């Protein structure tokens, strides 16, 4: 057997601080998008040195931060399961995996539901809000079965069942990927390509079929229908493919980067950021036709996710540019509390909009007003709710060993 045909070796645990920093950009990007949506559509430009650069698409398509979260989840969770798949009892691994996912997602989410209900009761003098009937399904993350219910309480909640459904599907995917790691490398690459292509084609087929089923509906309905888990699996899959491919490429994903790795990091970062920005400007140009069935409706998220995966791999390769952008203290702190930022920014933005004339303030001043409130609320949520449960999960994992 030739050297490049050997099965993938067991790799050490991959950890890059920059991947935490990437979460900060994802959460803040979504927040910026929501503030801008309330401020109102305006052309945004950066002027100076004889240039007048239109940056409007970078804000109006800021929901791409959700794509960032999905790709990153696919990459990290696939990596961490594959690292343990061949060396850990399968039952122990799965119990630990699902316990960690539940403790990661549900405590902060349930705590917010309690806070939002309490605030609504106080503000109304004890009258239940209209959405209280939706609480049971929300508590179980089953609220996406209804378009109305999916955003009845918090406008970002629609993504949570999608993310958690991916958590449920991932072990089966990893099982097939892990089987590939036992094969000669060429066969393993063919297997990975086949699995990835199958999931991506299924996502395209789902979006195509659902769009035509809802073609006469409002845009929000089409967004809700096409964004359910079958239509978003390609984003998770591309992250998972990057993780599995990285392991197949060298079998030592956690190794320290060489000079070649650092150069590669810079190239991957340039391709990823450049491609991501280009896709946003492209979508801005075809926006009027996009939700009417433009061909990009079915493939835009896939292509964009590929560029996001390039950024993720650039961070893993740990070049100087990636470290500068994603491993600075601000990015690491905000990335650490990014889940709470994601949960809390929307209700805070809505609350501020009820007190202050955000359109009159404009985007920049609106963001400067909202951001400190969001960061403080998110830090409290993280340190009071998230971190204790995360530590509980780690303690139980250690006790099982």
What residues are paired with 45 via a beta bridge? 54
Check residue 251 and give its pLDDT. Answer: 62
Q: Which pLDDT band, with edges at 50, 70 and 90, does 5 fall under? A: very low
Over 90: is that where the pLDDT of 111 sits?
yes
Per-residue pLDDT of 218-252, as tens digits, reads 999 999 999 999 999 999 999 999 999 999 987 64
CA distance 78 to 71: 11
Q: Output the average pLDDT for the chain.
A: 91
Per-residue pLDDT of 320-376, as tens digits, reads 999 999 999 999 999 999 999 999 999 999 999 999 999 999 999 999 999 999 999
69 closest CA partner among 392, 391, 367, 342: 342
pTM as predicted: 0.92
- More reliable by pLDDT, 243 or 49: 243
Q: Among positive and negative, which fits the CA dihedral 378, 381, 384, 389?
A: negative
Collapse the DSSP code of 356 into the 3-class scheme (helix H, G, I; strand E, B; otherwise coil) and give the result.
coil
Q: Which two tokens stand for residue 209?
A: 């079929």
Q: At 161, which helix (H) or strand (E)?
A: helix 159-181
Per the CB < 8 A criterion, the answer to whether 393 and 104 are in contact is yes
Distance of CA 88 to the CA centre of its chain: 28
Over 50: is that where the pLDDT of 11 sits?
no
Average pLDDT over residues 22-31: 97
113 closest CA partner among 374, 349, 334, 347: 347
Q: Which two tokens stand for residue 377?
A: 């609320």
The half-sphere exposure of 243 on its side-chain side, counting CA atoms within 13 A, is 28
Q: Give the ranges where 227-258 is alpha helix by DSSP (H).
A: 229-250
Q: Backbone dihedral region of 357: left (phi > 0), alpha (psi from -120 to 50 degrees) or beta?
A: beta
32 closest CA partner among 56, 67, 68: 56
Q: Which pLDDT band, with edges at 50, 70 and 90, does 257 fall under? A: low
Burial of 398 (0-12, 13-18, 19+ CB in 10 A): exposed
CA distance 62 to 85: 36
14 closest CA partner among 242, 254, 201: 254
Widest distance between CA atoms in the chain: 75
Per-residue pLDDT of 171-229, as tens digits, reads 999 999 999 988 998 999 999 999 999 999 999 999 999 999 999 999 999 999 999 99
């Amino acid at each position: 057997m030739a050297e490049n045909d050997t099965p993938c070796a067991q790799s050490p645990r991959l950890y890059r601080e920059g991947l935490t920093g990437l979460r900060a950009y994802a959460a803040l990007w979504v927040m910026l998008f929501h503030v801008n949506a309330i401020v109102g559509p305006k052309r945004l430009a950066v002027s100076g040195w004889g240039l007048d650069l239109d940056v409007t698409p970078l804000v109006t398509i800021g929901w791409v931060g959700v794509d960032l979260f999905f790709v990153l989840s696919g990459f990290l969770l696939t990596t961490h399961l594959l690292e343990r798949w061949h060396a850990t009892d399968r039952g122990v691994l799965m119990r630990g995996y699902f316990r960690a996912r539940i403790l990661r997602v549900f405590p902060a989410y349930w705590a917010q539901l309690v806070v939002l209900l309490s605030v609504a009761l106080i503000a109304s003098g004890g009258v239940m809000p209209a959405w209280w009937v939706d609480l049971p399904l929300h508590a179980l993350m089953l609220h996406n079965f209804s378009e109305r219910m999916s955003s009845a309480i918090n406008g970002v909640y629609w993504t949570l069942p999608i993310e958690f459904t991916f958590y449920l599907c991932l072990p089966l995917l990893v099982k097939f990927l892990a089987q590939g790691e036992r094969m000669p490398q060429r066969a393993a690459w063919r297997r990975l390509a086949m699995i990835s292509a199958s999931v991506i084609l299924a996502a395209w087929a789902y979006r195509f079929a659902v769009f035509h089923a809802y073609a006469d509906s409002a845009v929000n309905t089409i967004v809700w229908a096409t964004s359910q888990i079958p239509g978003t699996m390609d984003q998770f899959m591309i992250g998972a493919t990057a993780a599995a491919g990285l392991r197949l490429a060298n079998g030592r994903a956690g190794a320290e980067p060489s000079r070649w790795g650092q150069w590669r990091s810079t190239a991957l970062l340039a391709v990823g950021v450049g491609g991501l920005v280009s896709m946003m400007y492209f979508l801005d140009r075809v926006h009027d036709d996009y939700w009417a069935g433009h061909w990009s409706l079915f493939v835009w998220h896939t292509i964009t996710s590929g560029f996001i995966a390039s950024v993720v791999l650039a961070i893993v390769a740990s070049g100087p540019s990636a470290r500068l952008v994603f491993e600075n203290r601000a990015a690491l702190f905000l990335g650490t509390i990014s889940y709470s930022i994601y949960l809390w920014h929307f209700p805070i933005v809505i609350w501020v909009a009820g007190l202050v004339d955000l359109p009159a303030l404009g985007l920049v001043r609106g963001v400067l007003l909202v951001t400190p409130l969001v960061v403080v609320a998110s830090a409290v949520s993280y340190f009071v709710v998230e971190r204790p449960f995360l530590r509980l999960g780690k303690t139980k994992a250690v006790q099982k060993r």
